[in-house]
Amino acid sequence: MSTKSVYSIRIPEKYRNMMKEMEDINWQEEIRQSTINLIKEKSKEKLLKEGHELRKHMKKEIDSTSLIREDGNAR
């Protein structure tokens, strides 16, 4: 069983003809890598946005002296 799937796109014929003229480029691999890189980048952006939203809901101000005192008292 294959772990890959096919996703087809339509591009203007003008650009498809230009691609054909550039025989030295492996378009399938270039498009695959560009797509994967974009997916990774957008995924990271989404995770960062979610992290920032979580951070907003966390306690805003933390008194470090009380944290140190609590830690000392716990011993």
* Confidence class for position 2, pLDDT limits 50, 70, 90: confident
pLDDT of 59: 66
Task: Provide the residue type at 47 as one letter.
Answer: L
List the Cα angle 57/61/67 in 5-degree steps: 115
List the Cα angle 65/68/70 in 5-degree steps: 110
pLDDT of 65: 82
Taking the mean position of all CA atoms in its chain, how far away is CA 6?
21
2 vs 65 pLDDT, higher one:
65
**13-65 tens-digit pLDDT:** 999 999 999 999 999 999 999 999 999 999 999 999 999 988 888 766 777 78
